Every structure is written in structure tokens, then in C-alpha cells.
Structure 1
Amino acid sequence: MIDRRSLILASLAAMLPAETFAAWQLRPPEPQTVDYGPAKLDIYAPDSARGRPIVFFIHGGAWRLGNRGNVNAKPGFLLDNGFLFVSIDYRMVPQADVATQASDVEKAYAYVRSNIAKYGGDPDRIAVMGHSAGCHLAALTGLRGGLPAVAALVLDDTEAYDIAALAQAQGGRLRPIYAKAFPDRARWRALSPATYIESGKHPPVFVAYSGAPIRSVAAHAFADRLRAAGTRVTLFDGSAYTHMSINRDFGEEGDALTAAVMAFLKSTVA
């Protein structure tokens, strides 16, 4: 387990390129927007790109809010470090349910895998990253086999790995933010990433959690089950972060989570 408080960025200097935290701070590059069917996605790629690994990002927002533009420093930082970056929209609750959202993610991924080579990306080196609701959707689709040949999963801070266990931890019923997303108890199992842990071989998984105790408990339980099933897991203690800052600070100079994720990506897709 990587502890934020003890992670010293200097210790990663030999593992990361010198420009990892280079200043690119003017503004992110302009993306190319494409329609993948149910919604749109943005592809950030320099003209000179050839065979680069890809970070495919799923935004958060309680399954009800947010959009593909909620990317903060990620595009510029990742392009500066040799990646392409893709950020997707998916249909929101209540117009679409969570099962439909997961299907949207899988369709977006299929589009990227089929088309990213012409933007300079390597379709066999895609890491899927999600925050909050996007973290849940990344875990769900990645573990149930909906992201064929995905190289790695970066899961950034959710409680929703096991919906029934979450309800039990909350006194037998889900808090409103989760109850609105998961109103049908009969579907909790199918929509829980933990359901699919023993279903087969999974890619390496990076699991981060912020300061809320319930997220720490959920992340540890999920990581333990993944490891027991033979999956390679990196667990990041982000207890010094809030739920928002653990996403917002990625790519900022000196950020500990960024250093840990980059080390993980270097060992899996870079």
C-alpha cells in the first residue's frame, strides 16, 4: 500500500522522466470531438503522435452530473508525458439508468479501440481511469469483460464497489445519492463491480481512496478480494485528499497521487 504521507516524490525521480511535472500551464490542447453513438468523446492527441499509450477517462458526478470537459490538468500533463488522453460523455440519470451508462462506456471504449490508431494511439495500451461515479463505471465495465484487452484500470475514489455491502454499512439502506442511482435492489448485484472479481483474469488495478472512512473501508475490501483472486493491485492511501481534490489535483506539480499513478502506468502501459 502506498501511503500519501510517506510517499516522497524524490524516490520516484529515477522512475519518471524529468519532464513529468514540467510546466505546460497555459491551457490544455484543443481536443478533437467525435460522436461515438450514444454521446460524444474528446480525443487529445498531438499531430506528431505515433503508437502512444492512452488514458481513457470517465468523469464523475453522482451518475447525474458532469461532462467530458471536467478534466482539469489531465490532458496537458498526460500529453507532455507521452500519452494520448480521451474523455467521454455518457448519458445521465434519470434520462438513463446506470446499466445504460455502463453500456455507453463500453461503446465509447470500443470506438476508441477501433479508431485510436489514426490519432497516433496504440489500441493495445489503453488504461481506463475514472473518478467517483466514473470510478464505479470503470470498475464495473472493466471487471465484467466489457473493455476487451484493456491494459490497466485506475480507480479513483468510490464507495460503490459492492452496492449491497454499502447499503449494509449505511444501516440497511442507501444514502440518497446512491439510492437515486441504484433504486432497484434486485439489480444491485449486477451493477456491483465486486460481483465480477472471480469471473476471470483481470488487468492490473490501481485503487485510490480519499479521506472519508467509508471509502477507505470499501477500497481495502475491494483490493483484498482482487488480490485473493490473483489480480495485481496497487492501493493508494489518499486520506489527506478530499473526494474532489483527489481528482482535481491530478497532473499538478508535486501531487503524490499523480506520481503513484504514473509509476503504475509506466509498469503497465507506458
Structure 2
Amino acid sequence: MRNPSVWLAAFCVAVGIAATAAVPDAAARGRVGERLAERMALRRTLPVDPAALPANVRVWRERAYGSDPAQRYDVYAPRGATHAPTLFLVHGGGWKRGDKAAANVVAAKVEHWTAQGYVVISANYRMLPAADPLLQARDVAAAVAAAQRDSAQWGGDAGRFVLMGHSAGAHLSALLAASPDLLAQANARPVRGAVLLDSAMLDTARLMAASHGRLYDEAFGDDPAYWRATSPYAQLRAPGVPLLAVCSSRRIESCAQARDFVAHATRLGRRAQASPQALSHGAINAELGQPSAYTATVDRFLRSL
């Protein structure tokens, strides 16, 4: 194969099949497969090509919301926007990697939603081991507050922000949407809703008490009090903003967590829905914004806000 990235992907598939087949327990095989799939997806995570962005979109890069180099966000706004709603993206990467400018984070979403008049903002935040998930959520809240304060510069409306996070970013978005405290402490205005893209960490305490991978130990440690503090399920309060929990039906924990989280929110009187998708964990992020029934589901939720 002349293309090294194609060769690497094929090699990873072969290794993944062999490694997964070597694990006797079905649940363990699933977890091994998920980790390998995530690593493959990360290898394909490249910065978005500026030339690929729509011509009618203005871009503000590396807007600071703190003193750390990781505390930055990018803005993509349609030209001539006024009082526009804002989609605020929080990237994934296991709480320890990822980037706001990755193509699978922003490319299709910017093209689709700026065409509908949305401003799209994508934020970085400090990551493990320098910052634990609770501090990461505080970073995202601070980024929201800073973007709201400056939203008039690019034609946005500070009162019309919606969170959208993938994987670890979905956990952080869910934590901010579950209770207004973290946003309020950052002097951020309330958001209108949250779209949670395939998080398997919505009920942190329950998952940490069960069999789980080393990644979760690195992020959440062994303190049950910390599990509760970082659990969107445990922090859910009523009233609260509407929630859409998208989940991959190909993963073991994701849809079970989404359904339980939505049921808990509904019992509290919140508007919430789960949306299972027959897509991989990475595709749920990268393909959102492309023409599909999946994108149409997210569009309907956003219009309802």
C-alpha cells in the first residue's frame, strides 16, 4: 500500500481482530474492541483544512478564556450573523487528549450548522494528568462564559447557547447541563440545552463500582464522593434544560447509560430523549452534520429549543 495511513489503518484492524479474539469473555472483548476503535479514530483525527470551510464563514482562532495555553476556543460564524444561536462543541479523547480544531470535531458540523445560521464554537480545556474531569468541566464553563461575553463580536446571542460534546466531552457537557451550579460559578448564563454524543460515563458512580477499564481509573480515581461529584446522573436537578443523549448501539455501556440517564431526567420533570444510532463511536462524532436521518434528529431537537 502506498498510502501509509491506509496501511496503518489496515494493520490496526488486523491487530484489533487478533487481540479481540484472544480475549475469552464477551464483555471484555467488547471493551478491548472499543479501546482499539478509539485509538484508530484518534489516528485519523487531523486538524480541519481551512480551505475546506465554507466561504461564507468567518473564523476567530485561539480566543483565550484563561492563562493556560489549553484554555482557548475557536469561533466559526456565518457572515452577517446577528443574534444567532450558538452550538458550543466540547471534544472528546478520554479526558487526556483531543483538540478543538480536529476535522472530526468541527468539519461537518460547521458546514451544516453555519448554513442554518448558527455560530459554532469549539473549545479546548486542560486535560489529564494536569486537570481532573471536574476541573475540566470548570474550564468548559469558563469558556462558555467568555464566549457569551464576547458573542456580539461575531453576531451571536449570549442567551442562545447549546452544548454539544462527544465521548469525554459529552460527559463534561452532561455535567454542566445536569446542574446549573458549575456554569453559574463561572458567571456563565444558562444554556438552552445539551446534545450528548455517545458518552458511557453518565452514571459515574455506578460504572466505577462495576468492572471497567484503566482509563476510567486514571480519570476518576477510587473516591466514591468524587464519583458522585463528577456524575451527571447524581448531579441532575430539576428544573433543567432539555437533553438529547445520542448513543452507539454497537457499544456495550453507552446506550444503557443513555437510557437510564434519560429516564432519571424524565422522572425529575425534564425533557429528555435517547437516540440510539447504529454507528461506531467515532462515526457518531465525525458524521454528524452530514445528510442523514441521524443529523435530522439532532436538527429537530435544536429547533425545539
1:59-105 per-residue CA deviation (whole Å, 9 max, x = no partner) reads: 00000110111223111211011100000000110121112101100
Cross-structure match for 1:142: 177
Residue 267 in 1 paired to residue 299 in 2?
no
SS in 2 for 1:252: coil
Determine the C-alpha separation between the residues in 2 that align with 1:257 and 1:31. 27
Q: Does the CA-based 8 Å contact 1:49-1:120 persist in structure 2?
A: yes
Whether 2:206 is the aligned partner of 1:181: answer no
Please, what TM-score do these two structures have when normalized by structure 1? 0.84
Larger CA Rg, structure 1 vs 2: 2
1:31 is aligned to 2:59 = yes
Of 186, 197, 200 in structure 2, the residue corresponding to residue 156 of structure 1 is 197
In the alignment of these two chains, the number of paired residues is 238
Per the alignment, residue 200 of structure 1 pairs with 238
1:65 correspondence with 2:65: no
Deviations 1:188-227 (A, max 9, x none): 1101011121x33111111110021311111111010000
The one-letter code matched in structure 1 to 2:176 is T
For the Cα contact (< 8 Å) 1:125–1:150, is it kept in 2?
yes
Q: Residue 27 of structure 1 contacts residue 76 of structure 1 at CA under 8 Å; is this kept in 2?
A: no
Q: Measure, in 1, the Cα distance between the counterparts of 2:271 and 2:78.
A: 32
Give 1:143 deviation, angstroms.
Answer: 1.4
Give the gaps of 5 or more residues in structure 2: 1-50, 184-188
Give the distance between the partners of 2:139 and 2:160, measured in 1 at CA: 20
| Displacement after TM superposition at 1:27 (Å) | 1.2
For the Cα contact (< 8 Å) 2:78–2:115, is it kept in 1? no
Match of 2:253 in 1: 214
Q: Counterpart amino acid of 1:227?
A: T
Larger displacement relative to structure 2 (70-79 or 153-162): 70-79
In the alignment, the residues of structure 2 paired with residue 188 and residue 149 of structure 1 have an alpha-carbon distance, to the nearest angstrom, of 24
Match of 2:80 among 36, 48, 68: 48
What CA distance in whole angstroms lies between the structure 2 residues aligned with 1:99 and 1:207? 20
Q: What is the RMSD of the two structures over their aligned residues, measured on CA atoms?
A: 1.6
Q: 1:249 aligns with which of 254, 269, 287?
A: 287
- 1:122 alignment partner in structure 2: 157
Which of 114, 122, 132 matches 1:97? 132
Q: Within the alignment, does 1:82 sit opposite 2:117 as a pair?
A: yes
Kindly provide the amino acid, as one letter, of the partner of residue 214 in structure 2: P
Partner of 1:22: none
Which of the pair has the greater relative contact order for Cα pairs under 8 Å at 6+ separation?
1
SS at 1:189 equivalent: helix
Query: TM-score scaled by structure 2?
Result: 0.75
1:256 CA displacement: 2.2
